[in-house]
Structure 1
Amino acid sequence: MLAPAPRKVTIIGAGIVGLATALTLQSEGHDVTLIDPRPPGSATSFGNAGAIVSGGVVPTATPGLWKRVPTMLLDPMSPLRIRWSYLPRLAPWLIRFLDSGREHNALRISRELSTLTAGCLEAHHRLADLAGARHILKPVGWLKVYRDEDAYAGTAYDRGLMDLAGVSYQHLEADELHQLEPGISRDFTVGLFQPDAAFVSTPYALSQALFSAFTERGGVFHQEAVRRFDFGDDGQPSAVVTTHAIHPLDTLVIAAGAWSKELARQLGSTVSLDTERGYHLSFARTEAGPVLNRPTVFGGPQFVLSPMADGIRLNAGVELAGLDAEPDFTRIKALVPLARKCLPGLSGEITREWMGYRPSTPDSKPVIGRSPVHANVLYAFGHGHMGLGLSAITGRLIADLVAGRESRIQLAPFAVDRF
């Protein structure tokens, strides 16, 4: 098969999805330019839990969630928080979100997600090889732990979806769990382990590896904010107008995460996209500190502890408050005593407080595909909690579209106009 004719591709967004897409397209001979007002990999990509979970087939909204939402919103320790002043703007998204949790919708969404997640780790391996960064991906799996069998039984619906998708996982008894993670409190007696997952102990390092490979091969990055688009006589976007310059283009990819909604609107597409603000605290690593070998979800309080290169990272909570509200670290700081009980010996020194913007659609699926309005515009955003995990496979799918070749994954479920 002949290689596609090289094109001049402009990607707006230099987070992990934009970087993965840029390097993949460049490897196929395209002339690629990245544009972002922030340094590459420094926004949402920076602060995740570092997990690449090939079994991530459970949508955020599942059957019965709507019954629990009122109680969750009144509980100060709940993983879900809504800023009430934002509720009027959030309402259309929230209604779609709760509707996506209906039984038939959740099953369909899980099947569609599985088409992406099944190949996500292999896609990461190929991408990391392009960047000479395979060593950054650690094949240590993904672990969830529970205090007892009753708590584990509460995961039956999630496990049913994983079974339908053919996801490999193991039920761990107490001895097996503590052999795998001896530093975890003995209060946890049951584990759910997904071996076919990888861990990135410094997500920023992966972003930088991809960016370095991209620029070393001639890729161009402009740290500029996009203002608008110019359109040619044919009505198609012909240039990106930024705060500094006008950049001509052949093909445009919108991969700006939570900031993609306004860009898509300027290009004629209305998308149901909001931001699930996520928080993390970083605890200093000490010689006497606890042993933790992989990112671990603690069931009950619903937070993740990850053994990052610079210390233990606590990721917790979803806050629906848009892009403009000030961060509120109240809830995640209240979890610190509980985190220390779950992982005895956790350092008392907090070295970083961080908040990022997960770009989330109400049906937990990213937007990947061609614009229905402009033939030379492609979309790659809305990955929610799975931006890191799905970044490489997204880059491959965008490369398929640019090349005009058929993909093994049907993209209709991820279309921008599905809402």
Structure 2
Amino acid sequence: MKKITVAGGGVVGMSCALSLQAAGHDVTVIDPGPIGEGASWASCGCIAVGEIVPLSQPGMLMKVPGWLINPKAPLSLRPSSALRLLPWFTRFTLNSLPSRMRAIAADLATLTFASTADFKTQLQDIGAPDLLIERPVIKLFDNDHDKATMGAAFGLARELGCKIDDISGQDAHDMDPAIAPNFQHASILHDWSFVTDPVLLIQKLQQTFLQRGGRCISQAVTNFKREDQRVMAVLCTDGTEIQTDEVVIAAGVASKRLGKILNVPLQMEGLMGYATLLGDSNSDLKHTVFYPSGGFGITPYSCGLAVAGTIEFAGENAAPDWRRADVLVERAQRVLPGLCTDQRERRMGRRPFTPDTRPVIGRTPRLKNVIFATGHGQLGLTLGATTGRIVSDIVAGVPSEEDISMFSPSRFDPAHRDPALRL
């Protein structure tokens, strides 16, 4: 049995903690909290098996110049952050090359194709199988042009094994009558599913962890005590010092700061995503629905209807621009006629993105007992259980079922980067 400290109490951190605990380790989770209000709570709550084509796909990049000058666009950049983000965005853009897109998609598929089975196993373990709704996702398109922008992404996803059926907008309405009948095209993403409440999910993970003897500390990690190439203790805001045999960095956007303290460079940025929970929506939507030209999705949670989306590049401490949440609600009425929007709860979460869209999973050669499990972008909820399983395998010293070499933190480190690891 090892003493293991997990920095981060979101869906990835708690999943790692539970998997390590199940393997017989003494696990402590450190997070400034509140639990359940990280990136996942401002999301569509999907197990997005087919979300494997990187954001830097050419169809999206062609729209970026216009988006960046429009504060209501699906993607925006605050001027105060432009210069700092230029190196990251340059690398991000380079990954739109067809060969890189294909490689990234294939790598992500190795993880996402295992995600549903891993997630269902996790839900059974915590006694909450009903949190998962295994129902396909629908994407809606106004016209031929909108549909064409997804052509390359859908083609690559299908080639790698995703099941996507093209139907008419009327067919989508017949499938889910809450959807407006006047879309020209729609697609059914059969591999996807969604949760009934992402906040409840994370709370259930934490409750199970605590019931089994785990410990959660509501502090931020401020530093580490090291000897040679090992971390011996984790230091918290209040001066608490936690002796440890292994450290897992699963702190979302804060992982970049912790990596810097450990002299492990991470090319990762926290992109702000927005959501609004509508408490009394007057809608009987049954499926998660995405409207790509509007930059959002809608999910029928048990506690209300979630309208979530957009990506905003801004500083780590930037205040939310709630206009971006409000405009999504306005656009949602195009999808759901008669939508009631009076009862609103706004949410914002910072999603940790790498320029190649791959998460960061694995050990660093700079430190023998530190594992990174971060940078999941929009796939934190999707890959939480899978990442937890992989991290437990790493600690045990056994090969995981997937090849995780392309997710190594070393790909950002000039001193240790394998030439095969491209950004």
TM range (shorter): over 0.9
Bigger mean CA deviation after superposition, 258-267 or 331-340: 331-340
Q: What is residue 93 of structure 2 aligned with on the other side? A: 98
Cα RMSD of the aligned pairs, angstroms, is: 1.5
Deviation at 1:196, TM superposition (A): 2.2
Q: SS at 1:97's partner residue?
A: helix
- How big is the shift at 1:65? 4.3
- 8 Å contact kept, 1:65–1:101: no
SS of structure 2 residue aligned to 1:318:
strand
Tell me, yes or no, if the aligned pair for 1:25 and 1:32 is still in contact at 8 Å: yes
CA contact (8 A) 2:46 2:382 kept: yes
Unaligned runs of 5+ in 1: 1-5
**Is contact 2:138–2:172 with CA below 8 Å preserved after alignment?**
no
Q: Which moved more, 1:148-157 or 1:111-120?
A: 148-157
Q: Is the 8 A contact 2:59 2:149 kept in 1?
A: no
1:355-400, Cα deviation, whole Å (9 max, x unpaired): 1100111111100001121110000000001110011111111011
Distance 2:224 2:328 in 1: 45
Residues 10-409 of structure 1: pairs in structure 2 closer than 5 A? 10-63=5-58, 65-232=60-227, 234-244=228-238, 245-285=240-280, 289-409=282-402
Cα displacement (A) at 1:64: 5.3
Mapped to 2, the partners of 1:103 and 1:396 lie a distance apart of: 31
Unaligned runs of 5+ in 2: 413-423
TM-score (norm 2): 0.94
Query: Which 4+ residue blocks in structure 1 deviate beyond 6 angstroms?
Result: none
Q: Report the secondary structure of 1:344's partner residue.
A: coil
| TM-score (norm. length: structure 1) | 0.95
User: Which SS does the other structure have where 1:104 is aligned?
Assistant: helix
Tell me if the contact between 2:308 and 2:328 (Cα under 8 Å) persists in the aligned partners.
Answer: no
3-state SS in 2 of match to 1:408: coil
Which 10-residue stretch deviates more, 254-263 or 325-334? 325-334
Q: Distance in 1 between matches of 2:270 and 2:81?
A: 12
Q: Deviations over 1:142-161 (max 9, x none)?
A: 22111234432332101111
* 1:241 partner amino acid: L
Is this contact kept in 1: 2:43–2:309, CA < 8 A? no
Q: What fraction of aligned residue pairs are identical, expressed as a percent? A: 34
Count of residues paired in the alignment: 411
Question: Residue 50 of structure 2 aligns to which amino acid in structure 1?
Answer: G
1:368/1:415 contact within 8 Å kept: yes
Q: Which amino acid aligns with 2:179?
A: I
Q: Deviations over 1:42-71 (max 9, x none)?
A: 222222111001111111101354443212
Q: Distance in 1 between matches of 2:411 and 2:221?
A: 26
Q: Look up the SS of the partner of 2:58 in the other structure.
A: coil
The aligned amino acid for 1:31 is D
Offset, 1:83: 0.6
> How far did 1:183 drift?
0.6
Give the corresponding residue for 1:411: 404
Between the aligned partners of 2:220 and 2:286, the Cα distance in structure 1 is 39
- Please give the secondary structure, in 1, of the residue aligned with 2:76: strand
In the alignment, the residues of structure 2 paired with residue 68 and residue 44 of structure 1 have an alpha-carbon distance, to the nearest angstrom, of 25
User: 2:170, 2:181 within 8 Å by CA — same for their partners in 1?
Assistant: no
Q: Which residue of 2 aligns with 1:3?
A: none
Q: AA paired with 2:233?
A: A
- Cα shift at 1:175: 4.1
Letter of the structure 2 residue corresponding to residue 274 of structure 1: E
Classify the secondary structure of the residue corresponding to 2:411: coil
CA-to-aligned-CA distance 1:104-139 (integer Å, 9 cap, x gap):
111111111111111011010111111111111110
Q: Secondary structure at the match of 1:376?
A: strand
Distance 1:335 1:382 in 2: 25
Question: Any idea what SS the aligned residue of 2:410 has?
Answer: coil
Aligned amino acid, residue 188 of structure 2: F
Residue 315 of structure 2 aligns to which amino acid in structure 1?
A: G
- Higher mean C-alpha deviation, range 234-243 or range 62-71: 62-71
